[in-house]
Structure 1
Amino acid sequence: MGNYDDVTAVLDTTAGEMKLEFFEDKAPGHVKNFVELAEKGFYDGTIFHRVIPGFMIQGGCPEGSGRGGPGYQIKAEFNDVPHTRGVLSMARSQSPDSAGSQFFICHGDAGFLDRQYTAFGRLVEGDDTLDAIAQGETLPGGEKSSPKNPVKINSVRIERSQG
């Protein structure tokens, strides 16, 4: 694995910026996967396609539908990081080892996800942006989580601190 201890990601969205730090010691494969996808521009132009206030915002689907991914899946790295507000975690299907590119950021505490989803980072700047995305109006139907005016991820910038 690479050394991602001093690496952060800045999500530049149409609602503002969010800065994330990573937990390489807890989920090295997920950190590596996210950073590599970001550096390739995979997330650029994607949207937050699932938004549930008080729970989470989800993005990273290349189709914007919640069904797309990078064409591969990665093995789960469940850990003891609690799913509290601001925690970055990987979305997946019912299979534990089905994560690919979709991620979510907790908007509220979600302890029922602990040790069932791979937490691999946390929000360190941009709490107001998280709120703005989570509070957006959603369309009726289903779980009412499809945003009426989805927030776009313009780019994900990977930053490495020197020193």
Structure 2
Amino acid sequence: MAGKKERDRRRARERYERRRQQHLQRRNKVRQWTGIGLAVALVLGLAIGLSVAFVGGGSPKASASAKATGSKSASPSATPTASTIAEPAHHCTYTKAGTAAKKVSLPPATPDYTASYTATINTNRGKIDIDLLNSKATCTVNSFVHLAEAGFWNDSQCHRVSDSDEIYMLQCGDPLAKATTKLTCSEAANAPGSGTPGYEFASENLTGATYKAGTVAMANTGAADSNGSQFFLVFKASDLEPDYTPFGTITSGLDILQKVAAAGTTCTYADVGGGAPKEKVIIESVTIKKKT
């Protein structure tokens, strides 16, 4: 009897041990798959975040307090940021990026930081005169002067105007929007509004930046330091986050922008808002005057 009882106890212990091992294996598998699920979720979240960060090009968005049409997340950049640039800058870094909408060289790395510049945008609707803020956004002004003197914007049109959602501006600076092009508000790759000069550079003058009427500022992709050739002209105080480098002040021609905005649009940009101006604005040339 003693031998049989001992065998029964041994078998019971073996059954218990097998059940315990099976339970542990099942628990470990659950933990493993939970970990994998979390990792996949994190990767998908990162991928979605990056896709949001880089969708579209050069489109100012309203601040969170206004009627935003969606916000593009900023992403880190190897280029110096506004907080690390001492103004006026004595050296500028321009990094090749993408394909230029029109062939142009990189701006000089050494700007004339002591100079004073004015610009005149000669359009089919009249002249827009601008004081350039060289002492506050030296590398931006350096790029603007370079592109103007290279004729980069000649015979292009301003592709977007916004007169609502707390954004009141005319956006220009893309040679893909040729003077003869009929704008359709397409946001596809290589459509007017997506063009660049083939380089990028750091943002400047963002601390406390506001966008009152007469402000001229750089458009960007939504990613940090993604400035290129596109800029916008503010005709009424706009509620924008301080993400767009202010580099000039309009001294005459503000009425041109206001009339163009009042005329309305021919189509609407679905993602970024605003639309193609009904009254076409063609940039015939941009002239620069320099005082040292």
Q: How far is 1:144 from its partner? A: 4.3
State how far apart, in whole Å, the 2-side matches of 1:79 and 1:28 are.
Answer: 15
CA distance in 1, matches of 2:172, 2:114: 22
The match for 1:28 is 138
One-letter amino acid of the counterpart of residue 171, structure 2: Q
Identity of aligned residues (%): 33
Post-superposition shift, 1:79? 3.6
Moved over 3 A (4+): none
| SS of residue in 1 equivalent to 2:210 | coil
CA contact (8 A) 2:175 2:195 kept: yes
- 1:81–1:119 Cα contact (<8 Å) kept: yes
Query: The residue matched to 1:146 in structure 2 has which SS?
Result: strand
For 2:154 and 2:207, how far apart are their aligned partners in 1?
28
Q: Deviations along 1:108-158, whole A, 9 cap, x unmatched?
A: 112423x21100011011122222232233123423411234210011011
Q: Does 1:18 align with 2:128?
A: yes
Which position in structure 2 is the counterpart of 1:61?
174
Give 1:123's aligned residue.
250
Q: 1:144 to 1:121 in 2, by over 3 A?
A: closer
Unaligned runs of 5+ in 2: 1-110, 178-191
Say yes or no: does 1:90 pair with 2:224. no
Give distance in 1, aligned partners of 2:121 and 2:156.
11
Distance of 2:276 and 2:265 partners within structure 1:
5
Q: What's the CA shift string for 1:5-25, capped at 9, x where partnerless?
A: 431001110111100011112
**In structure 1, distance between residues paired with 2:257 and 2:198:** 28
Provide the residue aligned with 1:102 in structure 2. Answer: 230
TM (norm. structure 2) is 0.52
Contact 2:202 2:227 in 1 (8 A): yes
1:62 deviates by 1.1
Q: Which amino acid aligns with 1:152?
A: I
> 1:88 aligns to what SS in structure 2?
strand
State the distance in 2 between where 1:79 and 1:33 align: 20
Q: Is the 8 A contact 2:260 2:278 kept in 1?
A: no
Deviation readout 1:57-102 (Å, 9 max, x if unpaired): 0000110111001011111112434210010000001102111000
* Compared CA separation, residues 79 and 136, structure 1 to 2 (3 A): farther
Checking the alignment, whether the CA contact within 8 Å between 1:91 and 1:103 is kept in structure 2 is: yes
8 Å Cα contact 1:18-1:130 kept in structure 2: no
Higher-RCO chain (CA-CA 8 Å, sequence separation at least 6): 1
In structure 1, distance between residues paired with 2:173 and 2:142: 15
Q: What number of residue pairs does the alignment pair up?
A: 161
Structure 2 CA distance, aligned partners of 1:100 and 1:38?
Answer: 13
Q: In terms of Rg, which structure is larger?
A: 2
CA-atom RMSD in angstroms: 1.8
Q: Distance in 1 between matches of 2:171 and 2:157?
A: 9
Q: Deviations over 1:11-66 (max 9, x none)?
A: 11011110001111211110000011000000111111001126100000110111
Question: How far apart, in 2, do the equivalents of 1:83 and 1:74 lie?
Answer: 21
Contact 2:196 2:230 in 1 (8 A): yes
For 1:158, the equivalent position in structure 2 comes to: 288
